[in-house]
C-alpha cells in the first residue's frame, strides 16, 4: 500500500523495562526498572501484536517477510476513527506503513500486513486517529436524505475535502479529485442528492483510503522488531560427519578417517541437490578417556574414532581442529569450496568436555565435583555419556563465558556463519542471552539454531532471548490432525517468536514411523518438511533411507556418532530419494511461497491420510510481481495408495470466493514431475508410494 505520510504525533521511543546495558556486561549488571507510566491516547491503542511481553524482547522478521500487525483500537462516542501500522527504521525514521482494517468485527481488532526491507533493529508502532471524513460520510449519509441540516452537512463535507486535499504528500491527481468533490458539494445548481453523491464517490473514498485525513493521531509505544538476514527464516540444511566423507578400510581391514580435504572433494553432490547450508558436526579433537565404542558401548576398540561430542584432548579443545581431520587451512578451504557451491557452513557448538579437555586440568572449578572427588559426567536418562563432562555454569560463570565467547569468535574468524547449538536447554538462559547479544553486536550475520527437544516453555524462551531458529517436534507429528494443529501453531501463534526447522530424522532421532515406513516414509516426510517449513534439513544417509534402530532406542543402529560410515550414494539413487530432494529444493528456490511461514491454508480432503495445504505470497510482495501460490498434497500412509477428493478453498488460492468451483478455474503444475492439470474447486487425486508418487507439489495459476 502507499506509505502514509500524513503528519504524525511526535515519535515515541521503545518502551524499556531494563536499563540500557553494555552487551558485554553480564545480565546481573542490568538493573530492573518498574514499568513506566503510560497515559492512554486520545484514540486508545491497546493489545498490539506482534509484541513479546510488552516489548521485553523483540519480535522476529526477515527482509521482505510479510507479517501481520494487529491492535485493538476504539474511541468514545460515535465519531469514526481509524488506525495505521508503521514500521520504524533502525535510524528512527518512519518506514513502510499501511492503514489497518477491522478483522474482529465488533471487537475493535484491526490488522495490516507489512514487511521490512533490510536487516536491523526496527520498531513497530500503531497509530489510532480520528477520521473526519468517515464521521462526515456517516452523518451526511443519514441526514441529507432525511432533509436534516442539508446545507450545513454539504458545507461541512466541502471543508473536509479541502482539509484532506492539503495533507502533505498527496499527489496532484488525488488532490484534484478532492478539490473537485469540494466544488461539487458546494454546487447549488445540483440537487442535494447529487452533491452528496460527489462527496461519497468511490474515487474519493479510494483517495482517502490511500492517504486519509487524520485528527488526534495517538501513537502506541514503539515496540522492538529484530529483522535478521533471510537465512534466519529459510534454508535447506544437509548434515555431515566430515570424518565419514572419505573414510575407508585398508587391505588389513583397518579404518582410516576421512579428512576435511576429502569432505571438501565431496561437496558437489550435496550442492547439486540444492542444499544451501552445510552443517558440520564437531571437528575438534576427541578424548580417549571413557571413549565410547560402537553403539554407545563402554569398551572402544583401538580403531573406534569416538564421539565428536566428546570434545578435548592433549591436541586442544573447542577452538582446535582434530589432527585426524586436518588443519585450519583445510577447514578454511572447505568453507571456501562450500561458498563457491552456494552453501554456507554451520558448525555444531557442543558445550561439554572430554575428561582429556585442557579445561579439566586448567579450570577444574568449571565442573561439578562429586562427594567421592570424581567429576560428574553427563546424563540424559536413560542415556549416559561417560565420555563427557558438562560445564557447571554456577562455578566461575564469567570465566566460562569469556572462554566460550573466544571459541565462537575463533570459528567465526574461519568463516562459520551459523552455529547449531547442542542441547542449549541444559545451560543457563542468561548465558545464552548474553552470548548471542554480544555476537550479534559484533557479527550480526551470525545465526544460532537451538537443538532443544524439550518443553514448550523452554523452547519458546530460548527463541525469545536470541536464538534465531529452533528444532521442533515435527519428527513426532504424523497424523493429519497432528500436522495441521502443529503448523497452525507455528505459523499463526508463534511465528514472531520461534522460527522452526523441520528435520525428519537426525543423527540422534529415528522415529518408529521412519523405521517401519522405509523408503515411502522417507519420501513423504521429506515433502512435508520441505514444503511446510521455510527451513528444513536432512542428515547424511537420508538418501539411503537408513532406518534400522538400535534396540530399545529411537536412533539408528551403528550410529555414526561412534563409528565411520562409508556410504554408496550412487547405488542409493535407485530408490529415488536423491532425485526427490533435488526437485524439492528446486521448487523451494523457485517459489517465494515455500520460503515463508506465516501464510498457510489447509484444504479439506475426503481421506484422512491425504493432507492438502497451500502457501501464498501476494503479487505486492513477490519478486515476480505476480501471486505465487503452491499447493501440496501428501499421502501420509507409507504402506499403500490413497485416493480421494480435494476440496479447495479458491479464495485462499487467490481466486474470488464467488468463482464457480465446478468448472476448471486454475492450472496446476507438479514441481516433482512436470505434469500439468486443469483443476476446479473439487478434484480427484490418487497417490501411490509404490508407484513412486507420494505427493503433488503444485504451482498454481488461474486460467
* Active-site residue identified among 131, 356, 451, 671: 451
Q: Are 352 and 368 in contact (CB under 8 A)?
A: no
What's the DSSP call for residue 650?
Answer: G
Q: Is 562 annotated as a binding residue?
A: yes
Specify the pairing of strand 109-114 against strand 378-380: unpaired
Please tell me the distance from the alpha carbon of residue 315 to that of residue 580, in angstroms, as a whole number: 42
Distances (CA, A) of 483 to 276, 475, 504, 608, 636: 26, 10, 13, 12, 10
DSSP per-residue codes, 161-172: HHHHHTSTT--H
Nearest Cα neighbor of 86 from 57, 109, 116, 56 is 116
Q: Are 119 and 150 in contact (CB under 8 A)?
A: no
Q: Is 516 annotated as a binding residue?
A: no
Place of cell 574468524: 413
Catalytic, 65? Answer no
Q: Is 518 annotated as a binding residue?
A: no
What's the DSSP call for residue 286?
Answer: B
Instruction: Please compute Rg for the chain using Cα positions.
Output: 30
Specify the pairing of strand 695-702 against strand 666-670: antiparallel
Distances (CA, A) of 491 to 254, 354, 497, 648: 50, 40, 10, 20
Nearest Cα neighbor of 503 from 449, 539, 550 is 539
Q: What is the 3-state secondary structure (H, E, C) of 526-565?
A: HHHHHHHCCEEEEECCHHHCCCCECCCCCCECCCCCCCCC
* Active-site residue identified among 127, 330, 422, 546: 422
Q: Is 561 annotated as a binding residue?
A: yes
Rounded to a whole number, what is the largest CA-CA distance in the chain?
108
Please tell me the distance from the alpha carbon of residue 634 to that of residue 689, in angstroms, as a whole number: 10
- In degrees rounded to 5, what are phi and psi of residue 573? -65, -20
Residue partners of 93: CB distance under 8 A and separation at least 6: none
3-state secondary structure of 666: strand
Q: Is 352 annotated as a binding residue?
A: yes
Place of cell 576421512: 258
Cell of 56: 521485553
DSSP per-residue codes, 383-441: EEETT-EE--TTSSHHHHHHHHHHHHHHHHHTT--EEEEE-GGGS-HHHHHHHHHHHHH
Catalytic, 451? Answer yes
Q: Is 423 annotated as a binding residue?
A: yes
The binding site consists of 292, 352, 387, 423, 561-562
- Catalytically annotated residues: 422, 451
The binding site for alpha-maltose 1-phosphate consists of 292, 352, 387, 423, 561-562
Amino acid at each position: 500500500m502507499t506509505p502514509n505520510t500524513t503528519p504524525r504525533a511526535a515519535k515515541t521511543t521503545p518502551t524499556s523495562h531494563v536499563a540500557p546495558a553494555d552487551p558485554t556486561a553480564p545480565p546481573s549488571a542490568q538493573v530492573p526498572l518498574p514499568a513506566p507510566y503510560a497515559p492512554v491516547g486520545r484514540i486508545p491503542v491497546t493489545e498490539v501484536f506482534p509484541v513479546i511481553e510488552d516489548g521485553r524482547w523483540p519480535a522476529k522478521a526477515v527482509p521482505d517477510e510479510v507479517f501481520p500487525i494487529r491492535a485493538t483500537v476504539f474511541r468514545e462516542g460515535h465519531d469514526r476513527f481509524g488506525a495505521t501500522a508503521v514500521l520504524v527504521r533502525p535510524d528512527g525514521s518512519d518506514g513502510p506503513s499501511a492503514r489497518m482494517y477491522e478483522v474482529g468485527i465488533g471487537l475493535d481488532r484491526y490488522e495490516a500486513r507489512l514487511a521490512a526491507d533490510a536487516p536491523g533493529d526496527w520498531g513497530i508502532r500503531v497509530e489510532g486517529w480520528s477520521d473526519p471524513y468517515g464521521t462526515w460520510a456517516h452523518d451526511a449519509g443519514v441526514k441529507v436524505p432525511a432533509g436534516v441540516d442539508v446545507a450545513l452537512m454539504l458545507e461541512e463535507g466541502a471543508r473536509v475535502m479541502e482539509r484532506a486535499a492539503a495533507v502533505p504528500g498527496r499527489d496532484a491527481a488525488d488532490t484534484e479529485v478532492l478539490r473537485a468533490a469540494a466544488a461539487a458539494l458546494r454546487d447549488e445548481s445540483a440537487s442535494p442528492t447529487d452533491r452528496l453523491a460527489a462527496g461519497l464517490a468511490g474515487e474519493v473514498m479510494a483517495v482517502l483510503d490511500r492517504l486519509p485525513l487524520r485528527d488526534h493521531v495517538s501513537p502506541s509505544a514503539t515496540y522492538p522488531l529484530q529483522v535478521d538476514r533471510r537465512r534466519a527464516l529459510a534454508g535447506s540444511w544437509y548434515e555431515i560427519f566430515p570424518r565419514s566423507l572419505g573414510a575407508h578400510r585398508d587391505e588389513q581391514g583397518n579404518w582410516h578417517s576421512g579428512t576435511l580435504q576429502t569432505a571438501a572433494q565431496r561437496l558437489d553432490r550435496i550442492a547439486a541437490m540444492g542444499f544451501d547450508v552445510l552443517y558440520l558436526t564437531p571437528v575438534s579433537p576427541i578424548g580417549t578417556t571413557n571413549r565410547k565404542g560402537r553403539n554407545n558401548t563402554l569398551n572402544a576398540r583401538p580403531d573406534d574414532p569416538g564421539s565428536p561430542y566428546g570434545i578435548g584432548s592433549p591436541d586442544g579443545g573447542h577452538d582446535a581442529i582434530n589432527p585426524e581431520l586436518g588443519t585450519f587451512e583445510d577447514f578454511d578451504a572447505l568453507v571456501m569450496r562450500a561458498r563457491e557451491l552456494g552453501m554456507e557452513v554451520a558448525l555444531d557448538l557442543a558445550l561439554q568436555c572430554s575428561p582429556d579437555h585442557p579445561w579439566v586440568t586448567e579450570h577444574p572449578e568449571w565442573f561439578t565435583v562429586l562427594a567421592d572427588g570424581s567429576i560428574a559426567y553427563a546424563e540424559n536418562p536413560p542415556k549416559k555419556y561417560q565420555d563427557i563432562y558438562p560445564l557447571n555454569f554456577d562455578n566461575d560463570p564469567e570465566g566460562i563465558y569469556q572462554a566460550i565467547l573466544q571459541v565462537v569468535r575463533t570459528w567465526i574468524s574461519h568463516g562459520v556463519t551459523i552455529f547449531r547449538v547442542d542441547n542449549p536447554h541444559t545451560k543457563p538462559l542468561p548465558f545464552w542471552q548474553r552470548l548471542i547479544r554480544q555476537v550479534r553486536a559484533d557479527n550480526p550475520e551470525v545465526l544460532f539454531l537451538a537443538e532443544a527437544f524439550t518443553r514448550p516453555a523452554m523452547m519458546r524462551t530460548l527463541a525469545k532471548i536470541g536464538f534465531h531458529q529452533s528444532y521442533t517436534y515435527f519428527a513426532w507429528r504424523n497424523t493429519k490432525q497432528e500436522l495441521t494443529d502443529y503448523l497452525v501453531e507455528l505459523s499463526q501463534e508463534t511465528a514472531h517468536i520461534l522460527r522452526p526447522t523441520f528435520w525428519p530424522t537426525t543423527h540422534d532421532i529415528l522415529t518408529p514411523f521412519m523405521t517401519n515406513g522405509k523408503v515411502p516414509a522417507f519420501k513423504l516426510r521429506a515433502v512435508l518438511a520441505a514444503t511446510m517449513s521455510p527451513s528444513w534439513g536432512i542428515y547424511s544417509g537420508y538418501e539411503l533411507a537408513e532406518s534400522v534402530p538400535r534396540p530399545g532406542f529411537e536412533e539408528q543402529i551403528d550410529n555414526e556418532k561412534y563409528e565411520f560410515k562409508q556410504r554408496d550414494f550412487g547405488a542409493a539413487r535407485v530408490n529415488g530419494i536423491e532425485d526427490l530432494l533435488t526437485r524439492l529444493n528446486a521448487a523451494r528456490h523457485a517459489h517465494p511461497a515455500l520460503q515463508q511461514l506465516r501464510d498457510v491454508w489447509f484444504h479439506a480432503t475426503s481421506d484422512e491420510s491425504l493432507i492438502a495445504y497451500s502457501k501464498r505470497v501476494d503479487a505486492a510482495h513477490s519478486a515476480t510481481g505476480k501471486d505465487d501460490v503452491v499447493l501440496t498434497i501428501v499421502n501420509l500412509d507409507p504402506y499403500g495408495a490413497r485416493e480421494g477428493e480435494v476440496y479447495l478453498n479458491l479464495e485462499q488460492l487467490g481466486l474470488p470466493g464467488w468463482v464457480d468451483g465446478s468448472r476448471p478455474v486454475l492450472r496446476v503444475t507438479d514441481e516433482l514431475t512436470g505434469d500439468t492439470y486443469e483443476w476446479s474447486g473439487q478434484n480427484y487425486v490418487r497417490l501411490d508410494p509404490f508407484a513412486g508418487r507420494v505427493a503433488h507439489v503444485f504451482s498454481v495459476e488461474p486460467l
